């Protein structure tokens, strides 16, 4: 719209320039390219600026996917700690939505006790929450509902079955192990 006002408001315009601007207007309307009105227009290429956000997201997804594949190929150990006490440690874990899901066998169940809280996650299923109980000195410290586990799962959520995840201040570290 702004470009049309510039192109055709003048009474003297050579035919070639007028047709180039008309073609440019059609390209802008068709491709929805961004126009920089503050810049002095030297040529048609100066006006059209591609939107780089779509390329950035594609590039980011590509590198994120490859980073995940590279990380899965390297031997790693995941550790969950709270107040310098190791709650879970294992090499077989799943990562989903930046949460690390540990196998039930990798947990120190003496530090966990089931609490009353449960929650229904619609696509996944019912989650049962656990309190973390750590003894430091003469004090028993409890972190309420800091771990959860899903019950029987179906379909694409099957890898999370019989796995436990943590939140609310529980530190999770994933480190590479050296192959020997």
97: enclosing H helix or E strand: none
Q: Can you tell me the mean pLDDT for 111-138?
A: 90
**Do 98 and 166 share a domain, yes or no?**
yes
Handedness of CA 17, 19, 23, 28 (dihedral sign): positive
Asked if residue 65 belongs to a domain, the reply is no
What is the band of 22 on the pLDDT scale with cuts at 50, 70, 90?
A: confident
C-alpha 143/C-alpha 135 separation (Å) is 11
Asked if residue 29 belongs to a domain, the reply is yes
**Do 127 and 168 share a domain, yes or no?**
yes
Query: Quick one: pLDDT at residue 157?
Result: 85
Cite the DSSP H helix spans in 49-180.
Answer: 53-73
Q: What pLDDT, in 10s, does the model give residues 57-85?
A: 555 555 556 665 665 667 889 999 999 99
C-alpha 170/C-alpha 88 separation (Å) is 11
141: enclosing H helix or E strand: strand 139-150
What is the band of 31 on the pLDDT scale with cuts at 50, 70, 90?
A: low
Give the predicted TM-score (pTM) of the model: 0.58
Beta bridge partners of 142: 133
Structural domain span for residue 88: 75-176
**Do 15 and 82 share a domain, yes or no?**
no
Domain count, the chain: 2
**Do 18 and 96 share a domain, yes or no?**
no
Q: Can you tell me the mean pLDDT for 44-50?
A: 42
The CATH number for 128's domain is 2.170.150.40
Residue (of 127, 81, 128, 140) closest to 108 by Cα position: 81
Q: Can you tell me the mean pLDDT for 115-133?
A: 90
**Do 89 and 170 share a domain, yes or no?**
yes
Asked if residue 30 belongs to a domain, the reply is yes
**Do 89 and 162 share a domain, yes or no?**
yes
Residue (of 107, 95, 180, 90) closest to 147 by Cα position: 107
Asked if residue 43 belongs to a domain, the reply is yes
**Do 139 and 86 share a domain, yes or no?**
yes
**Do 17 and 81 share a domain, yes or no?**
no
Asked if residue 114 belongs to a domain, the reply is yes
Q: Cβ(106)–Cβ(89) under 8 Å?
A: yes
Residue (of 91, 84, 82) closest to 166 by Cα position: 82
Rounded to 10 deg, the angle between the 2-9 and 15-31 helix axes is: 170
Q: Can you tell me the mean pLDDT for 119-146?
A: 90
**Do 42 and 92 share a domain, yes or no?**
no
């Amino acid at each position: 719209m702004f470009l049309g006002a510039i192109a055709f408001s003048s009474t003297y315009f050579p035919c070639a320039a007028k047709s180039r601007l008309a073609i440019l207007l059609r390209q802008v309307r068709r491709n929805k390219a961004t126009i920089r009105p503050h810049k002095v227009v030297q040529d048609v290429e100066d006006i059209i600026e591609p939107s780089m956000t779509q390329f950035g997201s594609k590039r980011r997804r590509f590198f994120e996917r490859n980073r995940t594949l590279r990380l899965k190929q390297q031997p790693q150990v995941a550790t969950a700690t709270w107040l310098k006490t190791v709650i879970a440690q294992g090499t077989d874990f799943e990562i989903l939505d930046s949460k690390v899901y540990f196998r039930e066998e990798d947990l120190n169940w003496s530090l966990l006790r089931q609490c009353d809280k449960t929650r229904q996650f619609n696509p996944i299923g019912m989650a049962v929450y656990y309190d973390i109980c750590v003894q430091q000195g003469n004090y028993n410290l409890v972190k309420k509902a800091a771990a959860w586990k899903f019950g029987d799962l179906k379909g694409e959520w099957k890898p999370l079955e019989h796995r436990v995840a943590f939140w609310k201040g529980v530190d999770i570290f994933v480190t590479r192990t050296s192959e020997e």
